[in-house]
């Protein structure tokens, strides 16, 4: 995935997150496609690409709601870096990898993001984490699973992890 | 030595992460109003090219729609123009059959008055064409108020002597525009009259008077003035119709010569240019 394609995917993902995702929300729970993109970037490009992609898309997301400026960038940078770091050590392949990895990434992302947003207000943090972050992680994992299966069926392999992985 | 680049590569991702984290934390450390202000400004900077592009596209669409409307309007106007041209052709044909003159009053050429020849009142004027167009005898001369006179004699390529309407033997056929009553315009030294208007012909004070085109020396429709007074005496054969002209004959400075050959010109009206000594004599006394 070269830089131009990644930038294009970033913009499309952001537009989809803002314009399409609200229409597929279930009881207010929305999948986080931006984290999904960061995971894909980290898996395919390694920790540097994952970090930069996370920072860029996080910053763009923050610009939509300037009150949270820096929070999404921080959370997604760390998630992108971590996914990139572990991409070469994963035992799983294919759709199951995405279900677990994306769900874990969303949880990690929301953990950091909500800590910053609630300013370490533990009660508020826990309440929001349980009512929003966990359902969102499951929903995003399912969306990632479906997308991975679709990619497999179509034979594109766009979501496939490069052979041998990266150690960063 | 080979271990150093490998170590750098291992550190690179951590450095990038550290940089991103520092940047993010730095932004988070701002007060909320500052975050909002800067975030909004950056967002505006990012989206302004798109906004501008959207605006340009919108303007292009509006222009395109306006052009479509204008094209339709032009097409409709062309149809109207064609229709009017056909109507005009029919009118001219009918006028031609009825013996009327053409409606074309010719082309106006500006001229300046060089001299006024006065005999109690100005009766002739020497003029010079400002465009170099050649002048001919009997070409009508007008100003912004109406008919001034006709070229009596050509003095040179661009100079001519104009017989004003105030000269005694300057008789032109005129017409009361409202009713079509015709007669001969005459100046008695103080006032204009229309001669030969029979009793009972409809003429009223205030009626516009214009050249009738009859007689073939002046095209029809040039403004003369308005009817100032009408006296109908049953013992007389004709009415006495007084006309007020708006032309100030003693103050004409700039005039226009109607130069295009119209049907009002006929060879029998042509005057040969004056001989040099006659021309000098014709210039005569000036006011």
User: In chain A, what are the domain boundaries?
Assistant: 3-153
A66 contacts chain B (CB < 8 A): yes
In a domain, B92, yes or no: yes
Q: What is the mean pLDDT of residues B120-129?
A: 91
**Cβ–Cβ < 8 Å for B284, B155:** no
Of B42, B62, B97, which residue constitutes the final position of a domain? B97
Task: Round to whole Å and give the CA distance between B244 and B191.
Answer: 7
Share of chain B above pLDDT 90, in %: 41
Q: What is the mean pLDDT of chain A?
A: 86
Assess whether B127 and B243 both reside in one domain: yes
**DSSP, res B158:** S
Please identify among residues 71-130 of chain A the ones whose CB lies closer than 8 Å to any CB of chain B.
71, 73-74, 77-78, 81, 84-85, 116
Task: Quickly name the fold that domain A3-153 has.
Answer: Arp2/3 complex 21 kDa subunit ARPC3 (1.10.1760)
Q: Do B39 and A69 touch (CB under 8 A)?
A: yes
Residues B153 and B117 in one domain: yes
Distance of alpha carbon B108 from alpha carbon A66, whole angstroms? 73
Name which of A46, A51, A64 is nearest B20 (Cβ-Cβ): A51
Out of B17, B26, B36, the one facing A66 most closely (by C-beta) is B36
Distance CA B75, CA A119 (A): 69
Residues B37 and B176 in one domain: no
Give the pLDDT band (50/70/90) at residue B13.
confident
Cβ-based contacts of A81 with chain B (< 8 Å): 13, 16-17
Neighbour tally for A117: CB within 10 Å: 18
pLDDT at B260: 67
Contact A51 B24 (CB under 8 A): no
Chain B CB within 8 Å of residue A49 CB: no
Q: How many domains does chain B have?
A: 2
What CATH number corresponds to the domain at position B172?
Answer: 2.40.10.340
Q: Would B20 be classed as within a structural domain?
A: no
The CA distance from B74 to the nearest CA of chain A, in Å, is 44
Identify how many contiguous H helices and E strands chain B contains and give both numbers: 3, 12
The domain boundary residue, chosen from B75, B97, B119 = B97
Residues B271 and B161: their CA atoms lie apart, in Å, by 12
| Structure confidence at residue A149 (pLDDT) | 86
d(CA A98, CA A38): 12
Report residue B183 as tokens: 């007669």
Nearest to B21 among A62, A64, A77 (CB): A77
Contacts of A55 in chain B (CB under 8 A): 20, 23-24
Tens digits of residue pLDDT in A102-134: 999 999 999 999 999 998 888 999 999 999 999
Residue B25 belongs to some domain of the structure: no
Q: What is the pLDDT of residue B156?
A: 87
For residue B280, what pLDDT is reported?
Answer: 45
Could you read off the pLDDT of B218-247 as tens digits, one per residue?
A: 888 888 999 999 998 878 888 999 999 999
Q: Residues B162, B141: contact at Cβ < 8 Å?
A: yes
Same domain, B132 and B211: yes
Claim to verify: residue B172 and residue B225 sit in the same structural domain? yes
The answer on B52 and B177 residing in a single domain is no
- Selecting from B13, B39, B42 the residue whose C-beta is nearest the C-beta of A168 gives B13
Q: Are residues B120 and B243 in the same domain?
A: yes
Of the residues B13, B21, B30, the best mutation for testing chain A's interface (the one with the most A CB atoms within 10 Å of its CB) is B13
- B155 within some domain: yes
Residues of chain A with pLDDT under 50: 163-168
Residues of B with CB below 8 A from A69's CB? 27-28, 30, 35-36, 38-39
Average pLDDT over residues B1-21: 79
Same domain, B219 and B149: yes
End residue of a domain, out of B97, B120, B141: B97
Q: CB under 8 Å to B278, separation ≥6 — which residues?
A: none
B44 to chain A nearest CA, in Å?
9
- Rounded to whole angstroms, the Cα distance separating B162 from A163 reads 107
The reply to whether B38 and B152 lie within a common domain is no
Rounded to a whole number, what is the distance in Å from the CA of B48 to chain A's nearest CA?
14
Q: Do B23 and A62 touch (CB under 8 A)?
A: no
Domain that holds residue B202: 107-283
Judgement on whether residues B166 and B269 belong to the same structural domain of the protein? yes
Minimum Cα–Cα distance from B41: chain A residue:
A63
Residue A36 tokens, joined: 């999904």
Whether residue B183 is found in the same domain as residue B278:
yes
For residue B197, is pLDDT > 80?
yes
Instruction: Give the C-alpha separation, B165 to B180, whole Å.
Output: 21
| pLDDT of residue B22 exceeding 60 | yes
Decide if B28 is inside a domain.
no
8 Å CB contact of B35 and A67? yes
Closest CB from B10, B12, B28 relative to A74: B28
- Clarify whether residues B45 and B139 are in a common domain: no
Spatial separation of the C-alpha atoms in residues A11 and A83, rounded to whole Å: 21
Interface subset of B 39-98, CB within 8 angstroms of A: 39-40, 42-43, 46
The 10s digit of each residue's pLDDT in B78-102 is 999 989 988 888 887 787 777 655 5
Share of chain B above pLDDT 70, in %: 85
What percentage of chain A carries pLDDT values higher than 90? 46
């Amino acid at each position: 995935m070269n830089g131009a394609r990644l930038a294009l995917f970033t913009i499309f993902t952001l537009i989809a997150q803002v314009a399409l995702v609200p229409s597929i929300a279930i009881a207010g729970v929305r999948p986080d496609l931006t984290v999904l993109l960061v995971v894909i970037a980290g898996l395919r490009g390694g920790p540097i690409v994952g970090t930069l992609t996370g920072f860029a898309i996080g910053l763009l997301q923050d610009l939509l709601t300037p009150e949270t400026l820096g929070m999404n960038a921080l959370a997604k940078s760390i998630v992108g870096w971590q996914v990139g770091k572990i991409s070469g050590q994963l035992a799983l392949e294919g759709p199951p990898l995405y279900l677990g990895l994306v769900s874990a990434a969303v949880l990690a992302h929301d953990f950091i993001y909500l800590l910053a947003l609630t300013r370490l207000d533990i009660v508020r943090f826990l309440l929001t984490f349980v009512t929003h972050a966990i359902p969102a992680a499951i929903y995003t994992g399912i969306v990632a699973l479906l997308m991975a299966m679709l990619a497999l069926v179509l034979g594109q392999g766009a979501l496939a992890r490069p052979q041998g992985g990266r150690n960063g | 030595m080979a271990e150093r680049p490998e170590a750098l590569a291992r550190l690179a991702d951590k450095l990038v992460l550290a940089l991103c984290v520092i940047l993010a934390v730095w932004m988070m450390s701002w007060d909320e109003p500052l975050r909002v202000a800067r975030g909004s400004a950056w967002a505006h900077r990012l989206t302004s090219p798109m906004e501008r592009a959207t605006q340009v596209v919108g303007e292009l669409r509006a222009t395109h729609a306006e052009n479509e409307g204008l094209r339709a309007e032009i097409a409709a106007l062309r149809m109207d123009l064609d229709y009017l041209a056909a109507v005009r052709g029919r009118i001219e044909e009918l006028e031609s059959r009825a013996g009327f003159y053409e409606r074309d009053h010719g082309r106006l050429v500006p001229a300046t008055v060089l001299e006024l020849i006065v005999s109690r009142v100005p009766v002739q004027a020497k003029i010079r064409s400002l465009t170099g167009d050649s002048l001919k005898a009997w070409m009508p001369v007008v100003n912004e108020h109406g008919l001034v006179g006709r070229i009596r004699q050509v003095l040179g390529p661009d100079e001519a002597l104009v017989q004003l309407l105030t000269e005694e033997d300057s008789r032109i056929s005129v017409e009361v525009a409202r009713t079509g009553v015709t007669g001969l315009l005459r100046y008695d030294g103080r006032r204009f009259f229309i001669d030969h208007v029979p009793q009972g012909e409809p003429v009223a004070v205030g009626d516009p008077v214009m050249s009738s085109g009859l007689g073939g020396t002046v095209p029809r429709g040039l403004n003369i003035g308005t009817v100032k007074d009408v006296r109908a005496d049953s013992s007389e054969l004709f009415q006495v119709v007084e006309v007020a002209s708006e032309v100030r004959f003693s103050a004409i400075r700039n005039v226009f010569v109607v130069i295009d050959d119209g049907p009002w010109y006929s060879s029998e009206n042509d005057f040969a240019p004056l001989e040099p000594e006659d021309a000098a004599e014709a210039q005569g006394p000036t006011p």
